[in-house]
A and B are shown apart, each in its own frame.
Chain A
């Protein structure tokens, strides 16, 4: 356990080092800040003086060390737009994103496991075939399209006027196929403070309502993939000797499916899931834009538009760190599910 953690820590440091290099390169690669700060009328002497005072005349490695030192002290400079430390801006926006990601991860899990398992144990039912068909479509449709369709259907609503409205039955049929909509699809609503520090949508029914559409549309990115993965894995596991043996021992089908088979099915799902949580964070850029969800993704896009360099670099570093932390947690979780893996890396 301990050696594993130490090794993971070393890997994390290495990954963060590489990310910081990228961040540093971006920061240095966007024109000459001195010229921007002084304007076109400045003399060469003024420019040299400023360059020296900002440390920009130092060699590149020294500048990087400077940058890394600041980063280690959680100092990424002040945002040009917000006029406050970049990290505190991110700290303000990130919780909304994390809440969105968490909600859609939970939705994905809650929906994909029963769907995948059902499709595997009842492969011939019409429901399974429909689900598997939809999952192919789901994989190929881009997230902003599904988001807009969701908004149209559940927020704006669909008014069907296909049938003659002046007859009783036509009116009734129109009503039947119309969808009222009305789901909130813009912003966060009114999140509430919990315990003084946590500003959240999870605490109130209205907050959850606001979360629902963005989270579901984000979940649709992963859901089809997970349904297909669980379905395929489960089919394979159901053919295994230990499932056959479990049947030969007279165990209940529910126990065979949901303990014996599912536990082995989930191993690759957990691995993929860990990587995909990172991908979900990336997809929040799109979802947050469509739903105007005030999270770090939306903030990041704004920062790019405003060329708010400290904010961009800080976002990059924070998301990088998030990836590393999540992947480490997934490896730990994997250990709990699969006793054949020991964390020292050797087979037991």
Chain B
């Protein structure tokens, strides 16, 4: 049994007239100590997925179907009180912008101690000792001094270290990091990435990293989910996906990365924009932007327009694409459709 199992998760945001389906039919698992990445453009549903795992969706979002099992225990049906024992304790979160994550009116120390006290019966002195220890672990210089300071007195990188220290405070089983390095500058990014990998390895913590940045994900994770318009289009070992992406969308993402080794040229881009989640195209959501929606003979592949592709195994990963399926099975998808 995996540490965390997500099964056919479906998340919706009802609006006045219609409903936005932010996450559709998402399934994945996380093993103890494993580092998993979720990548995709803005609006692909990555963050919604991350927040839904602890039922922290903002209104009016709700889980419309599917399961989230943590150590075999169903989370989607738990009450707020029961979830509170898990949040921050067994499953910790790291947010995007460390400067807005920490409460500006409370000292670093106060916020660390309150986290500990929310989950353990512990004396102020003991809590302080643990907090200082964790600050040292994330290599915060002169932790005693930082302890008394307010978030605005610290740099962004330092704040993110504090947030990581808070995440590690209660020795969680899983840390969910939503764009943990996006708000930081590049040199700090590398440090934070190194720190997260090292600490999660050392404490055997499962890590879920959300990012739109393939470089960050590539360095941080062992396994990768690629999301597009609320669905997982490809999942597999990070190394394999980056070296040999199967899904046309993933290929597009990787081609769009700047390459240091190639002569200077315009960066490749995927034509068009990701659809609004309120108006996701029928069939494969990616088909309007996909060059493989046409057969080599120039005919439109009906399946791409009409049917949501099912995931198939290809080159070590699971890929949801009619074209890939056709390549593997060499059965023209038009015939199979009948």
User: What is the interface of chain A, defined by CB distance below 8 A to chain B?
Assistant: 239-242, 244-253, 255, 259-260, 263-264, 337-340, 347-348
Contacts and interface: CB of A to CB of B under 8 A. Distances in A.
A235 to B, nearest CB: 12
A117 B329 CA distance: 61
> Across chains A and B, which 3 residue pairs bring their CB atoms closest together, nearest first?
A249-B88, A250-B87, A250-B88
Contacts of B92: 248-249
Contacts of B87: 247-250
Given A339-B152, A348-B153, A248 B104 contact: no
Nearest to A260: B103
Contact of A252 (B84, B100, B104): B84
Contacts of A244: 56, 58, 95
B297 interface: no
B114 A248 contact: no
A264 B56 contact: no
A242 B118 contact: no
Contacts of B102: 242, 245
Contacts of B100: 240-242
B101 interface: yes
Contacts of B89: 250
Q: How large is the interface on B (under 10, 10 to 19, 20 to 34, 35 or more residues)?
A: 20 to 34
Given A241-B101, A242-B102, A340-B104, A248 B54 contact: yes
Given A245-B102, A248-B95, 4 more contacts: A241-B101, A242-B101, A250-B119, A338-B104
Contacts of B153: 348
A248 B85 contact: no
A264 B103 contact: yes
B149 to A, nearest CB: 9
A214 to B, nearest CB: 35
Interface in B66-116: 80, 83-89, 92-93, 95-97, 100-107, 114-115
Nearest to A242: B103
Contacts of B115: 249-251
A338 B105 contact: yes
B131 interface: no
Contacts of A264: 103-105
A264 B106 CA distance: 10
Interface of B: 54, 56, 58, 80, 83-89, 92-93, 95-97, 100-107, 114-115, 118-119, 150, 152-153, 166
A180 to B, nearest CB: 45
A248 B93 contact: yes
A263 B106 contact: yes
Contacts of B95: 241, 244-245, 248
A296 B106 CA distance: 42
A253 B79 CA distance: 13
Nearest to B150: A339
A244 B58 CA distance: 9
Contacts of B97: 241
B114 A255 contact: yes
Contacts of B150: 339-340, 348
Contacts of B101: 241-242, 245
Contact of B56 (A248, A252, A253, A337): A248
A114 B119 CA distance: 27
B86 A245 contact: no
Contacts of B114: 249, 251, 255
Contacts of A240: 100
A271 to B, nearest CB: 15
B210 to A, nearest CB: 14
A340 B152 CA distance: 7
Contact of B118 (A241, A245, A250, A263): A250
B105 A337 contact: yes
Contacts of A263: 103, 105-106
Given A241-B95, A241-B97, A348-B153, A249 B118 contact: yes
A264 B105 CA distance: 7
B56 A247 contact: yes
A287 B37 CA distance: 66
A59 to B, nearest CB: 55
Given A242-B102, A339-B150, A251 B54 contact: no
B23 to A, nearest CB: 18
B155 to A, nearest CB: 13
Contacts of B84: 250-252
A82 B266 CA distance: 90
A260 B88 contact: no
